[in-house]
A and B are shown apart, each in its own frame.
Chain A
Amino acid sequence: MIRGKTWKFGDHVDTDVIIPARYLNAPEPSELAKHCMEDIDKSFAGAVQAGDIMVGGWNFGCGSSREHAPVAIQASGISCVIAASFARIFYRNSINIGFPILECPEASEAIKAGDIVTVDTETGKITDETTGQVFEAKPFPPFIQKIVESGGLLPYLKEKQGK
């Protein structure tokens, strides 16, 4: 179970604002985290607390294929991202690195910045404790759930090879 304070962003949050290309030459997660969301919210990297939850609108993570984007968000301390929809490469990348993301247009719209939210990634249940509202995100299909549970695609492949 995940519980944290939310950071709210709008529609079409692209990977260039999540982690600008000028920082891609230093791909260590801790370095990326220092500049996460810098071009859209300069206060974010300094103020985000471990366990906080990010909420975006439609087409979250659009643009470049850079895996540095979900890595930066994860390394900044964010525990999961809830969005109305995700751009497909960002979606794959998050699953592949074992980072929980949830697609839920209703939650994306209703949750306000700073709300305290709990998320059950197994069932997809999202509870806004501040307002008392409850939302249901569609849980991952079993195959993808297995990848996330293994800690990402490569550990999953390794496990499969070992069998």
Chain B
Amino acid sequence: MGMTMTQKILAAHAGLPEVHAGDLIEAGLDIVLGNDVTTPVAIGVFEKAGFTEVFDKDRIVITLDHYTPCKDIKSAELCKTARDFAVKHNISHFYDVGTVGIEHALLPEQGIVGPGDCIIGADSHTCTYGALGAFSTGVGSTDMAAGMASGLNWFKVPPAIKVELKGKLQPFVSGKDVILHLIGEIGVDGALYKSLEFTGEGVSELSMDDRFTISNMAIEAGGKNGIFPVDEKTMEYIKGRFEREPAVFEADEDAEYERVVTIDLSELKPTVSLPHLPSNTKTAEEAAGLHIDQVVIGSCTNGRMSDMRSAASILKGKKVADGVRCIIIPATQEIYLKCIEEGILQTFVEAGCAVSAPTCGPCLGGHMGVMAAGERAVATTNRNFVGRMGHTESEVILASPAVAAASAVAGCVAVPEQEG
């Protein structure tokens, strides 16, 4: 029996000719990532166990992105712990306020991760890098500590779900709509312990930003990872960024899949997830008219350049509706700068949006847009659990940047429409 793309990458990193679903293996790691919430805990575990050296200062990435610029004294202490550790161990990829971006937009942009890599990150959305044809998965702080100490970690080889994509997306339909639709189909534990393997002719129609968004939310279906094949768009994206030699893996013809889900991209409509689970999907049209108080456009899911452009195309010359607060967060400094260069920042500010420096802030109810009881947001983020963006009686509706921008203008959930 052949192997899936994920299984091949894991076999290569475990030094094994083949692996099978369910095998427990120890694999070498190309990159170990942590943020300001998870790294301090990892440092505590690392030092308590008596480790004094990291396995490779060039293979560890620390991004201070969640509560930064620091929201309070306690988060400042956490950042300081991480910062001191990064300096002490001379960590090459350490990103602090001024250079930091939201980690899962930043690492691909900076060329730190690439095709064929085996990556762990102490952040659940580490699965994002599957878009580049890497095996990449979210883990906890102890896993990060083990990775920093040894450059190795244990994995249970996942079985797979094949997601066959065909057709081409309609205008105002994006990667976010694809992944919300998929989660609505298979449920929040539909891919539990499994890999989501995206394939089919439709892949070539998706931009890299669409693919990042799709892989990013694999975890919201319970998935271990969500992986795309490497094609010309991938190679074009990594050109000038990724300096290591990319390793291109392809699934065997006779690879085993537990289930095949087919999605016709041309049939998808702008989609939203209503509170309180990402699987609670409706078309934006079905949800249209629901009152909102806040819009958040950003996050590791949808804070990339194409997301900013999509929002700007709808907000240009318009005003955010009275009574709605629209917060826009370009995910990295590079994206922020491009927004300035392209006049997009001006569009946002003129429309009455608040634009922030890169931070995860509101997505997890940290800061920069926490909600009160009874308030409701449309957000391009990834989770709409109870209390996710603030009070337990506040609500989050997940959507694409196009739907979020259209909703900001309308003052309620709205469907983006072509002008003229």
Contacts of A74 in B (CB 8 A): none
Say yes or no: A17 contacts B387, CB within 8 Å. Answer: yes
Say yes or no: A16 contacts B24, CB within 8 Å. Answer: no
Binds B, one of A90-98, A105-113, A124-132: A90-98
Say yes or no: B222 contacts A96, CB within 8 Å. Answer: no
Binds B, one of A1-9, A19-27, A48-56, A114-122: A19-27
Interface residues of A in 54-68 (CB under 8 A from B): 58-59, 62-68
Residue of B nearest to A64 (CB): B124
Query: Taking the nearest CB of chain B, how far is it from the CB of A19, in angstroms?
Result: 11
Say yes or no: A24 contacts B37, CB within 8 Å. Answer: yes
Q: B84 on the interface (CB 8 Å rule)?
A: no
Q: B385 on the interface (CB 8 Å rule)?
A: yes
Contacts of A154 in B (CB 8 A): 45-46, 48-49, 51, 142, 145-146, 149
Interface residues of B in 127-185 (CB under 8 A from A): 138-143, 145-146, 149-150, 154
Interface residues of B in 1-55 (CB under 8 A from A): 24, 37-38, 40-41, 44-46, 48-51
Q: B249 on the interface (CB 8 Å rule)?
A: no
Contacts of B193 in A (CB 8 A): 88
Residue of B nearest to A60 (CB): B189
Given A65-B140, A67-B140, A97-B142: A158 and B49 within 8 A (CB)?
yes
Say yes or no: B24 contacts A144, CB within 8 Å. Answer: yes
Q: A40 on the interface (CB 8 Å rule)?
A: yes
Say yes or no: B192 contacts A88, CB within 8 Å. Answer: yes
Q: B365 on the interface (CB 8 Å rule)?
A: yes
* Cross-interface CB contact of A16 among B72, B219, B388, cutoff 8 Å: B388
Say yes or no: A17 contacts B150, CB within 8 Å. Answer: no
Given the complex of chains A and B, what is the CA–CA distance between A153 and B192 in angstroms? 22
Given the complex of chains A and B, what is the CA–CA distance between A88 and B364 in angstroms? 20
* Cross-interface CB contact of A14 among B50, B140, B385, B392, cutoff 8 Å: B385
Residue of A nearest to B122 (CB): A65
* Cross-interface CB contact of A40 among B72, B145, B188, B386, cutoff 8 Å: B386
Q: A34 on the interface (CB 8 Å rule)?
A: no
Say yes or no: B146 contacts A85, CB within 8 Å. Answer: no
Interface residues of A in 66-108 (CB under 8 A from B): 66-68, 71, 85, 87-89, 92-93, 96-97
Query: Taking the nearest CB of chain B, how far is it from the CB of A160, in angstroms?
Result: 9
Given the complex of chains A and B, what is the CA–CA distance between A96 and B366 in angstroms? 26
A130-159 vs B, CB cutoff 8 Å, 1 = contact: the mask equals 000000000001011001000011110110
Interface residues of B in 199-251 (CB under 8 A from A): 219, 222, 224
Say yes or no: A16 contacts B386, CB within 8 Å. Answer: yes
Residue of B nearest to A143 (CB): B24
* Cross-interface CB contact of A87 among B67, B146, B150, B222, cutoff 8 Å: B222
Interface residues of A in 1-47 (CB under 8 A from B): 12, 14, 16-17, 20-22, 24-27, 39-40
* Cross-interface CB contact of B142 among A12, A87, A88, A96, cutoff 8 Å: A96
Residue of B nearest to A26 (CB): B74
Say yes or no: B124 contacts A157, CB within 8 Å. Answer: no
Given the complex of chains A and B, what is the CA–CA distance between A24 and B77 in angstroms? 12
Say yes or no: B146 contacts A27, CB within 8 Å. Answer: no
Query: Taking the nearest CB of chain B, how far is it from the CB of A20, in angstroms?
Result: 6
Q: B399 on the interface (CB 8 Å rule)?
A: no
Residue of A nearest to B141 (CB): A67
Q: B277 on the interface (CB 8 Å rule)?
A: yes
* Cross-interface CB contact of B146 among A24, A62, A157, cutoff 8 Å: A157
Contacts of A157 in B (CB 8 A): 49, 146, 149-150
Query: Taking the nearest CB of chain B, how far is it from the CB of A127, in angstroms?
Result: 27
Contacts of A63 in B (CB 8 A): 124, 383, 385
* Cross-interface CB contact of A89 among B44, B51, B138, B146, cutoff 8 Å: B138
* Cross-interface CB contact of A59 among B40, B189, B383, cutoff 8 Å: B189
Residue of B nearest to A28 (CB): B44
Q: B196 on the interface (CB 8 Å rule)?
A: no
Say yes or no: B145 contacts A64, CB within 8 Å. Answer: no
Say yes or no: A25 contacts B49, CB within 8 Å. Answer: no
Contacts of A68 in B (CB 8 A): 41
Say yes or no: B149 contacts A65, CB within 8 Å. Answer: no
Given A12-B189, A16-B385, A154-B145: A88 and B140 within 8 A (CB)?
no
Query: Taking the nearest CB of chain B, how far is it from the CB of A98, in angstroms?
Result: 9
Contacts of A14 in B (CB 8 A): 383, 385-386
A residues adjacent to B (C-beta < 8 A) = 12, 14, 16-17, 20-22, 24-27, 39-40, 58-59, 62-68, 71, 85, 87-89, 92-93, 96-97, 141, 143-144, 147, 152-155, 157-158
List 6 tightest A-B contacts by C-beta distance, closest first: A154-B49, A93-B140, A25-B74, A67-B140, A96-B142, A59-B189
5 inter-chain pairs at a CB distance below 8 angstroms, sorted by A residue, are A14-B383, A16-B365, A16-B388, A21-B366, A157-B146
